[in-house]
Amino acid sequence: MRDSDDAGEESEADGGGHGSTVGPGADGVPAESDPGGTGIAGGSDVDIDIEELILDDGSEEPDEASRGLFDDLLEGEPIFENKEVLRPSYTPHRLPHREEQINNMATILVTALRGDTPSNILIYGKTGTGKTASAKFVSEELESTSKKFEVPCEVEYINCEVTDTQYRVLAQLANKFIEKNEAVVEERVSGLRDVRDRVEDPEEPAPLAGTEFDSEAALDRRLEELEADLEAFEPVPMTGWPTDRVYSTFFDAVDYHERVVVIMLDEIDKLVEKSGDDTLYNLSRMNSELENSRVSIIGISNDLKFTDFLDPRVKSSLGEEEIVFPPYDATQLRDILQQRADVAFKEDTLSEDVIPLCAAFAAQEHGDARRALDLLRTAGELAERDRTDTVEENHVRQAQEKIELDRVVEVVRTLPTQSKLVLYATILLEKNGVHNINTGEVFNIYKRLCGEVDADVLTQRRVTDLISELDMLGIVNAVVVSKGRYGRTKEISLSVPIEETEAVLLSDSRLGEIEDVQPFVQSRFDN
């Protein structure tokens, strides 16, 4: 079942851990062909001859263990000690500069450890401000303390970006609780069976002493009940049931025994955007009907205004307590990076400016710690690729460009076709040396491109809107200029690298069909 934004994050092999599991020799290759075992230790021939590697198709080469393709890449001291620490999937044990938010959450949630219902909490903050990390940290603490003091309290985490319909949220919760209930009942049944065995044992003088049962029959009744419960637990399929059945299954599972349940809905704004507020409405009114258990909700949102779209009852119930996660400033980001870098990098591999520069770049990017960590990791990877011993300022600058380019590629790739055509028209104009491109010029080329790919032609008004959208996405820059009595127009220029953007556009199968675009632009000038 999918329940985490971190799923699938762990695959990429890390630069430091090479060799031991995939080294030659593991699959029956004679060990003497690679005495070092991993190919790292020997390290005599650093220069590989690519020519030889490719051309030498080894007419009858004996089964050599390796020809050295990877050997020299493994050469040299890798920069990273533990790169995983810089990935988003890693949950740090300390969260500097979030003490206040974490304490606020704890102060509200401690109620659960006293057996009462904590207020619902709404957490707000832009991406990368540590909301998920802090919430997970607090929930782990809460669960472990509840075990220590034997107070029944459970936390369930759901990432609503992944689980984004009411059906799926309720089904996932229902199944988690059913699983937990099963475990509890199975343990209880096995305990009672032990008692049952003692009852059978003629040597036992008072087998029921100290149990809740005053007779063998009472014990058997209880056992039968529990076994029947076990039979009756039925997981919710991921599709197909009517929603009210899913809800009542979930409700019964929660209420099966006494406990306080904290349901953490991360990226809750995505759920509301996609499926409305029914889920929240249902969850927030549960307590009035539950008999044994109590539910408390922690909603986490990147969007500060999302409650505007909520039913007022849901809004007031969900926002009983609100905690804001402000953006980090550059100094705070430095601390966060430093703490991770100490674990992630080998000693003395970061030159002095690296962390401050990553922090400064990320501070501009609305104080996003995720961005800061990405920059640091990417800078390290670039340094590694350069085979240098240290990460330098220029690696950070390259990393910034790379990440920015990756973002642009992703945004452009996922644009609707019409926007792609508008953008492509702009690119063609720029490529042909047109300066101060105006909307009319874009529109003319756009029309021709539409003809070429068989797309509907939108009005110039709509195309102007699409240009504004591209502006908001940071792909073009459009400034309104006055043309005196000819009214106003927009002057458009590209804000992204032209070659890469064009390549992304042409990788779209529809735009890719456009052949030899030159004549279009030329013919425009014929008009």
Q: Where along the sequence are the contacts to Mg ion (CB under 5 A)? A: 132
Over the Cα atoms of the chain, what is R_g? 31
Please state, in angstroms and rounded to a whole number, the distance separating the CA atoms of residues 420 and 446.
10
Q: Which is nearer to ligand ADP, 373 or 421 (CB)?
A: 373
Please state, in angstroms and rounded to a whole number, the distance separating the CA atoms of residues 154 and 139.
9
Q: Is 97 in the site for ligand ADP (CB under 6 A)?
A: yes
Could you tell me how many residues of this chain bind ligand ADP (CB under 6 A)?
Answer: 18
Shortest Å distance, C-beta 457 to ligand ADP: 41
- Residue 369's nearest CA partner among 79, 98, 100, 9 is 98
Q: Which is nearer to ligand ADP, 39 or 125 (CB)?
A: 125
Taking CB under 6 A as the binding criterion, the range among 131-139, 228-236, 247-255, 506-514 that sits at the site for ligand ADP is 131-139
Shortest Å distance, C-beta 451 to ligand ADP: 44
Residue from 83, 104, 131, 446 touching ligand ADP (CB under 6 A): that is 131
- Residue 281's nearest CA partner among 393, 166, 189, 199 is 166
Please state, in angstroms and rounded to a whole number, the distance separating the CA atoms of residues 9 and 6.
6
Shortest Å distance, C-beta 279 to ligand ADP: 20
Please state, in angstroms and rounded to a whole number, the distance separating the CA atoms of residues 196 and 222.
11
Strands 121-124 and 293-301: parallel
Strands 437-438 and 488-494: antiparallel
Residue 58, class by beta-carbon neighbours within 10 Å (0-12 exposed, 13-18 middle, 19+ buried)?
exposed
Taking CB under 6 A as the binding criterion, the range among 59-67, 94-102, 152-160, 357-365 that sits at the site for ligand ADP is 94-102
Q: Tokens 């459009």 identify what position?
A: 478
Shortest Å distance, C-beta 397 to ligand ADP: 21
Positive or negative, the CA dihedral 59, 60, 66, 67 is negative
Max CA separation in the chain (angstroms)? 110
Alpha-helix residue ranges (DSSP H) falling in 116-201? 131-148, 166-200
Q: Which string of x and - marks every residue 326-365 that binds ligand ADP (by CB under 6 A)? A: ----------x-----------------------------
Shortest Å distance, C-beta 132 to Mg ion: 3
Q: Is 397 in the site for ligand ADP (CB under 6 A)?
A: no
Q: How far is CA 75 from the centre of its chain?
A: 33
Which tokens belong to 258?
Answer: 């006494």
Please state, in angstroms and rounded to a whole number, the distance separating the CA atoms of residues 379 and 358.
9
Cβ(341)–Cβ(372) below 8 Å: no
Shortest Å distance, C-beta 367 to ligand ADP: 10
Q: Is 83 in the site for ligand ADP (CB under 6 A)?
A: no
Which tokens belong to 377?
Answer: 């990791």
Q: Is 264 in the site for ligand ADP (CB under 6 A)?
A: no
Shortest Å distance, C-beta 125 to Mg ion: 9
Shortest Å distance, C-beta 361 to ligand ADP: 15
Main-chain dihedrals φ then ψ at residue 77, nearest 5 degrees: -75, 120
Taking CB under 6 A as the binding criterion, the range among 120-128, 176-184, 250-258, 289-297 that sits at the site for ligand ADP is 120-128
Q: Which is nearer to Mg ion, 6 or 229 (CB)?
A: 6
Please state, in angstroms and rounded to a whole number, the distance separating the CA atoms of residues 439 and 59.
62
Report 292-331 residues binding ligand ADP (CB under 6 A): none
Q: Is 92 in the site for ligand ADP (CB under 6 A)?
A: yes
Nearest residue to Mg ion, by Cβ distance, number only: 132
Q: Which is nearer to Mg ion, 131 or 490 (CB)?
A: 131
Residue from 24, 39, 78, 130 touching ligand ADP (CB under 6 A): that is 130
Q: Which is nearer to Mg ion, 132 or 249 (CB)?
A: 132
Binding partner of residue 133 among Mg ion, ligand ADP, none, CB cut-off 5 to 8 Å per kind: ligand ADP
Residue 383, class by beta-carbon neighbours within 10 Å (0-12 exposed, 13-18 middle, 19+ buried)?
buried
Q: Is 377 in the site for ligand ADP (CB under 6 A)?
A: no
Under the rule (CB under 6 A), what is the footprint of ligand ADP? 88, 92, 95-98, 125, 127-133, 336, 369-370, 373
